[in-house]
Amino acid sequence: MIVMSGSRNVLRGSFGHVALLVLNFFVLVGIIESFQIFSFDLPFLNLLVLGYMLIHTTVLLSVQLGVQILELIRVRKPTLLIGYYFQMEDSQTISIRLLDPTKSKLAVLVLLLIVTGGPVLFPIFAIYGFLLVYSFIAVIPLAPATILFYFGYFLNWMPPILAVIVGIIIISIVIVEFRHL
């Protein structure tokens, strides 16, 4: 029975990580496609709000991916940051040291991102990304030439600076966490 429950936990954890990676992919697609909106003639206030939303969600997504990679390395269940702190009781200690604001400056940043709109902005970009991906898949047959075309399209619109920032944040999270071992 112990082997069965262990394999069930591994299966649940694997399914959770795959589902969270898909969610993160949808958020990433939503962020990337939202950069095109800057080419439209928008009022200054709308540009400011969109810029805030994009920067905020990009940083939150980067931290989310870094934490998820750490959890994959340590074989833990996935953590969705926008709901993690809401699951804690006042007297309960935070199980992930990296997300404990009394022990990590990154946790303070995560709390600030959550308080300043994470639970609202993250789902907005996830839904937008899902609708975009669904519209591409539903309309276009998945021929290899079409997949290559859209992959090239994705690479052209992917800002290299965003990739560098995300990579640096993920590597920093991994280095900081392993330094505390």
Question: What is the predicted pLDDT for the residue at 181?
Answer: 59
Whether 66 has a pLDDT exceeding 50, the answer reads yes
Mean pLDDT of 49-74: 87
Whether 133 has a pLDDT exceeding 60, the answer reads yes
**What span, in angstroms and rounded, lies between the C-alpha atoms of 48 and 40?**
14
Question: What is the predicted pLDDT for the residue at 26?
Answer: 93
Whether 34 has a pLDDT exceeding 80, the answer reads yes
**What span, in angstroms and rounded, lies between the C-alpha atoms of 151 and 177?**
33
Mean pLDDT of 96-104: 79
Quote the DSSP letter at residue 39: G
Amino acid at 23: L
Whether 5 has a pLDDT exceeding 60, the answer reads no
Domain holding 99, by residue range, is 2-179
Whether 138 has a pLDDT exceeding 80, the answer reads no
* Domain count across the chain: 1
Per-chain mean pLDDT for the chain? 78
Against a cut of 0.85, is the pTM above it?
A: no
In this structure, what token pair is assigned to residue 177?
């966490």
Question: What is the predicted pLDDT for the residue at 1?
Answer: 36
